[in-house]
Chains A and B, each alone.
Chain A
Amino acid sequence: MKGLFAVIMLDLKRLQTDRVRLISSLIQPLLYLFVLGSGLGASSVLGKGRYIQYIFPGVLGLSLLFSAVFAAMLIVFDRQIGFLKAVLVAPVPRTAIAIGKVLSGAIQALVPAVVLLIFLPLLGMHMGWLRFLGLLGAMVIAAITFSALGVATAARFKSTTVFPIISNAVLLPMFFLSGALYPLADAPHWLKILAHFDPVAYAVDLMRGAVLDTTFFPVWLSLAVLTGFITTLTWLATRVFASGEDA
């Protein structure tokens, strides 16, 4: 437990010194929410106001996904500069390093996402405490899933130059396939099938369920799939950390 605490403390101390990262992580979701939301919403059958409300959980997903994976990419940077070795030679169980990295990435991702919740009243989205807590719970699960995805990926890479590739070739397709910006129920059949393989789709659906009371997947399925993803990806990351420099 002490090792887990140390990993999380290290990353949070770093976040504290990196305010630029926090501020810049808000730019992309705000653009999606207000520019894309207003622009597309004007011509959407859902209507301007309703469209922004509809994509709000998707924008939360976008923020959580990119912030979590970016936080995980610091592992690659640490490996590149040699700092990771100092962590790996410490007597901390590799499981604790992997879980610590996943949790600290999730916390780092939740900070800007929670800031986005300030805009809820501005968007005319008023919800009771129970519903709000449900949304927070879904956000936590989504953040842990995306962080696990980032840690399992980053643990394998040795150069930070892979980040733009991952961003464009993996994260953006996952985001666009997730139904974050459109209702999956009305999407073409092939898109619906692909969405079943996309963890972002389940995470966004869970958040949308909490906010708008409408889901594409059954809640139990989303929870089961996301738990499966978290467990598998964290296990994969543990294996990589256990290999040390042989990875």
Chain B
Amino acid sequence: MNMQYAAIETRDLSKRYEKVEALRGIDLTVNAGEMFALLGPNGAGKTTLFSILATLRKPSGGEARVMGFDVMRERAAVRQRMGIVFQEPALEQKLSVRDNLLLMGLFYGLSMKAARVRTGEIMETLGLTDIAARQAQKLSGGQKRRLELARSMVPNPDILFLDEATLGLDVDARRSFWAQVRQFVRSGRTVFFTTHYMEEAEVADRIALINEGRIIALGTPRELKDRIGGGVILLATEDDVRACAWLMQHGHKPEASERGIVLVSTEPAAVLPALLTTLPVKTLRAEVHEPSLEDVFLTLTGKGLDNGEAVPPKPALIMGGAR
């Protein structure tokens, strides 16, 4: 593989669907051999960016290159060098594991003989040999995903695109899936993935946070967490709305999330005791922890990563009353 160019490079990439601006000037560089995560809520532009890089959609403006090839002008070259696992199953359910892989080999220009050899190799590598004759529809969720991964590796790609590839899998199946992906990365190749699971994104070398069609932060997991500094206080109270209002009035910047009230502080351990004694609402639970990627996203956008919905509006009025 030529390591002289970036695996992915986009410049001012935009995409518009009639009235919706899905991507607004994305500048991104993913290095060859890197494991790169794209994180953002639904509707942030992840799938659109993914589709453009995978040559499935045309950008409205800007340019994008994958493994040095333009995704618009050199589509065949891009397609020859990439493997993709989609969020939805892209298998022919009535065909066997072997036939699914064999046919994909033919689609990638292999002769029947070469496709048979490649299918055997891939099944061996990913532990699918025992179920080679089984119809795809009769596989478990984890086995199906493994077959999807095998399908994406048939062309021996330089770069692997994974779009929410482990959605709906149990913890063991996810772990096994990522172990195989890591093996792929160890061979010096690139992985570009989107995920909803924070712990999956943490294993990436670098992460881009995307929101409303823009990259809002980019860095290693550590760098992103350091952006908000200190730590995070997580509060659950009897009346979160009232607690938020009180905190705002006293100079804090609380963010309401599904987990409770999130409060970023440079010295959370010092701030928490004072808060607990003065907060005019009964505290049910209080935690101090290191910032997570979810906290970073929440701090930067005021939105959660789960569904991308804005946090409930903060109250304009402070409700009176003591604890």
Contact = CB atoms under 8 A, between A and B. Distances in A.
A and B interact physically: yes
A246 B54 CA distance: 13
A13 B107 CA distance: 14
Nearest to B148: A86
Interface in A189-239: none
A2 B107 CA distance: 7
A86 B111 CA distance: 19
Interface string A83-94: 101111111110
Interface residues of A, number: 27
A82 B88 contact: yes
B99 interface: yes
B109 A3 contact: yes
Prevailing SS type, chain B contact patch: loop
Residue of B82, B90, B104, B107 most packed against chain A (CB within 10 A): B107
Interface string B180-197: 000000000000000000
Contact of B108 (A88, A90, A93): A90
Contacts of B54: 89
A10 B102 CA distance: 10
Given A17-B94, A91-B80, A244 B109 contact: no
Interface residues of B, number: 31
Given A17-B94, A86-B90, A9 B106 contact: yes
B29 interface: no
Contact of A82 (B55, B86, B99, B109): B86
B57 A244 contact: yes
Contacts of A93: 76
B148 to A, nearest CB: 9
Contacts of B55: 89, 244
Interface of A: 2-3, 5-7, 9-10, 13-14, 17-18, 81-83, 85-93, 243-246
Nearest 10 interchain pairs by C-beta: A82-B88, A86-B90, A6-B106, A90-B107, A91-B79, A244-B56, A17-B94, A91-B80, A6-B107, A245-B56
Interface of B: 51, 54-58, 76-77, 79-80, 82, 84, 86-92, 94-95, 99, 103-104, 106-111, 151
